[in-house]
Amino acid sequence: MSGSTKTDGRVERGNQTRRLVLARTMDIASVEGLEGLSLGRIATELKLSKSGVFALFGSKEELQLATVRAAAAVFAREVVIPVAELPPGPGRVWALCRNWLAYSSGRTFRGGCFFHAVTAEFDARTGPVHDAVAQARVDWVTYVERTIEEGRLAGGFVEDVDVPQLAFEIIALMESANAHSVLLGETSVYARAERGIARRLRVETTAEARDEVDSPSA
């Protein structure tokens, strides 16, 4: 066996271990927060050597940062990427919102929306983990606003739509459903959020594009 083959094998094993660790840390953080993570705990729970986990991440802070990055990739896969090929307009915004509600209600993460959980944990702190969480929030809000603006430019939303306000309102409805469901174990709130979002979008949608947004029953 050549040296490069041995190296490739070690790299792949390291990548597999990294994926295994991050799958666990994302789930823990969605319930207990990022402060609930430690190299020793993860090594024990996954029956890995602590030195091996330390070699992959180096510190608790790096483990937290890697967890945030991994969660962002999962979020993109579940919520954002599926709408990438849709034409700009209210239908694309509507699909994005429904993807988010499915991501939360389907418990992609055990504690509901990963970022809703860790934002509450780090919103008043400082440091690299706070900055990573804050940037994830900025990226999401910016993406929602851009998706609405692209819909406006395509003629799907009324010309004078207040893009930041509309983005704020639909994000608030989604996050409220997530928080209520996680706390009280109710699922009906997702339907309520869906109805509220649909109604809010339809108010700002041009008559020609109104059919792009379903009108869920009350």
Report the pLDDT value the prediction gives residue 50, as an integer from 0 to 100: 87
Q: What is the tens place of the pLDDT at every residue in 102-115? A: 999 999 999 999 99
Domain 59-211 has CATH 1.10.357.10: yes
Nearest by Cα to 144 from 200, 215, 214, 217:
200
| Helices and strands counted in the chain (H then E) | 9, 0
- Cα separation values, 11 from 6, 7, 165, Å: 9, 6, 47
Among 10-24, 79-93, 100-114, 161-175, the range scoring the smallest mean pLDDT is 10-24
- Cα separation values, 22 from 16, 46, 110, 194, 204, Å: 10, 11, 14, 31, 40
User: Does the structure show a pLDDT above 80 at 202?
Assistant: yes
Q: Where are the domains of the chain?
A: 59-211
